Amino acid sequence: MKVPWFENAKWYALVGGLAAVLALLAALQFESSRQLSHATTEQMLANLEGALMNLRGALESELTPLCRELQQSETESRDSSLPDYARGLERWRRAATHPGLVAGVYIWQPTSSQSPGFLRLNLQTNEFESAEWPSDLTRLRQRLQEMTPMHDGPRDHPPDHGGPHGESARDHERPPEFDLSSPGDAASPHPPEPATLGWMIDESVPVLVHPVMQADRGPNFTWVLVTLNFDLLRTHIFPELVQNYFGTQDRRTYDIAIVKASANTRRVIYSSNSGFGENAGVLPDAALNLFGPPMPVVGREHRPMQSLVSPDSHPQNPEQQAATLLPNLGPHDPEPFRIEPILYGPDDQGWEIIAQHRKGSVEAAVSTLFHRNLAFNFAVLLVLAATMGMIGLNSRRARRLAQLQMDFVASVSHELRTPLTGIVSAAQNISDGIIDDKSRMMRYGKVILNQAQQLSELIEQILLFSATEKDRHRYHLQSARVEELIDASLSNSSALIRSTGVTVERQIQPNLPPVMVDFKAFSQCLQNLIANAVKYGGEQRWLGIRASMEESGQHEKEIRIAVEDRGIGIGSDDLKHVFEPFFRSPVATSAQIHGSGLGLPLAKTITEAMGGRLTIESVPEQGSTFTVHLPVGNHTESSHV
């Protein structure tokens, strides 16, 4: 059966079209996945930045009540005094989540001639007492000195740097009283409000610093210093904040660290994962300064933080400095206070909170997701392509099978009709009484018998094929001599051979070992091959049947039974189809050689059921050789397959 060219063209066009659609789908899929992962990266970085901002805000909120209480101490009354600070601190402690956060409170009035200088709040007695400057505040003192507005202060009353810690000799002489509303403005018609300035932090201690400046009382410019418990920050407050905004250790997507960064180094103050943050060469996914105006660093572009009080970025005179220290929020403002970092040089970048995705980076995490999605999508497309291919092939095979079955019905009808016509016409002649002599009667009887046998063989063939196809046929294997098998097949085909005048050349190697076969089925297989050699043997009318033992591989032998003819042969196009059920070559049908297309498929199925195989060698116009290869069996017991 040949598929018409336009059918093939339609088929190839369909396959090509579907392949193009699939390629387009794959390209669209890739592009949309790429865009999606880009958007996901942006979104994740924005969320991360938001979480860092929240964390930063939460720390400001933690410190704001403390700052507010101490500021209220300044604003409660114009004559506020030192006890107000102690009371403010006490109020804060009662409400604070971490009352241990404050390690010490100091008051320093550097410019006043009447100032007692430097005072420390005794946390037991809640009283201020003269104190020496702690060594870790020496650098800060220097800075505050520079920042103190000099109305009539240092030039007229320079701060005393007498002691090694900078303490004034006067500090010890003055009683521990500290009047923030010092005289000097009594004549003023509008007594000034105590100016409330912003809060700063020197992270190296850490200490909160707050200037209290009464604009018209320059000499009484006062610094409030609150040292913080660094260990509490490191071991409790930072971990709690990180847990609140980034989840617990096992569920966290990001590693978080709080670091003090400078040009090339990073000192880790806190890290959610040991080792994270130490390598200054690895850029985090996001970084944000913990104090000062928020300066997010996203997209792996690390920008240095700036500080309003950075001496390099803001070379200021004292008035300007005071102006920059003006509060960004009032004491009753519910918003958290912004706390500015005090920086000591261009490289000093203050505390920074850095975050990095646990998969290396946000890009790496999204890229893994992108590749996984892509692989999944392409797998789906591949399955789709394979399914489409299979459906296409199956439909092609179904069409081919349908065509073969149509051909089969046509040829079987023909095969049935020919002997039936012979039988009917012979029987008609006999019943009409046309045949009167005995010898003619016998000839007619033979014709009827032959045609009936042909019919019965055909029906037998079809039933056998149907049984083998449904896998219902059971074979009874037993040891058989090759010679006997060949002779039985030739004898069963003798009528056909004789009627066509074909010469048979039989060649059997002596002493062949027996083979394990189902005798009846295997001789049917050989008969099919013999019948084909006769049918397609052409003018030569010659048939060869040979049996021999040959090597089939290393140390293995097999019996080969070859049925040969010198007939029409089989073209290479048809060769691959001859074992397909119902296949008949166009050469055979056009030469009007009868057949059902079931002989070879049956022969192949039977041979394989006996553990062998069937091969063909054929050259058009020269002839064909069909060879049955059977394994040599040592076993002699019979069995069923």
Query: Do 506 and 525 contact (CB within 8 A), yes or no?
Result: no
* Residue 567 binds to ligand ADP (criterion: CB under 6 A): yes
Please give the distance of CA 392 from its chain centroid, rounded to a whole number.
30
Backbone angles phi, psi at 412, to 5 degrees: -65, -40
- Choice from 329, 355, 598, 614 touching ligand ADP (CB under 6 A): 598
Cα–Cα distance between 127 and 109 in angstroms, integer? 17
Strands 339-341 and 515-517 come out as unpaired
Residue with tokens 């699939």, as numbered in its chain: 22
∠ CA(414), CA(416), CA(418), 5° rounding?
70
* Residue 584 binds to ligand ADP (criterion: CB under 6 A): yes
* Residue 607 binds to ligand ADP (criterion: CB under 6 A): no
Residue closest to 573 by CA, chosen among 590, 552, 587: 587
Q: Which is nearer to ligand ADP, 219 or 595 (CB)?
A: 595
* Residue 578 binds to ligand ADP (criterion: CB under 6 A): yes
Minimal distance, residue 588 CB to ligand ADP, in Å: 4
Q: Which stretch binds ligand ADP (CB under 6 A): 39-47, 214-222, 305-313, 596-604?
A: 596-604
Minimal distance, residue 580 CB to ligand ADP, in Å: 9
Backbone angles phi, psi at 200, to 5 degrees: -130, 165
Residue with tokens 């017991």, as numbered in its chain: 637
* Residue 600 binds to ligand ADP (criterion: CB under 6 A): yes
* Residue 404 binds to ligand ADP (criterion: CB under 6 A): no
Binding-site size for ligand ADP (CB under 6 A) equals: 22
Minimal distance, residue 629 CB to ligand ADP, in Å: 17
Residue closest to 630 by CA, chosen among 564, 568, 547, 571: 547
* Residue 419 binds to ligand ADP (criterion: CB under 6 A): no
Q: Which is nearer to ligand ADP, 342 or 598 (CB)?
A: 598
∠ CA(624), CA(629), CA(631), 5° rounding?
175
Minimal distance, residue 451 CB to ligand ADP, in Å: 17
In the sheet where 286-289 sits, what is the strand order? Answer: 266-271, 254-261, 351-357, 286-289
Minimal distance, residue 537 CB to ligand ADP, in Å: 7
Convert residues 509-538 into a mask of x (bound to ligand ADP by CB under 6 A) and - (unbound). Answer: -------------------x---xx--x--
Q: Which is nearer to ligand ADP, 181 or 532 (CB)?
A: 532
Q: Which is nearer to ligand ADP, 211 or 567 (CB)?
A: 567
∠ CA(212), CA(213), CA(218), 5° rounding?
140
- Choice from 597, 609, 610, 627 touching ligand ADP (CB under 6 A): 597
Q: Which is nearer to ligand ADP, 508 or 593 (CB)?
A: 593
Q: Tell me which DSSP letter residue 578 carries.
A: T
Q: Where would I find the H helices in 501-539?
A: 519-535
- Choice from 261, 568, 606, 628 touching ligand ADP (CB under 6 A): 568
Residue closest to 120 by CA, chosen among 79, 62, 167: 167
Footprint on this chain of ligand ADP (rule: CB under 6 A) = 528, 532-533, 536, 565, 567-570, 578, 583-585, 588, 595-601, 624
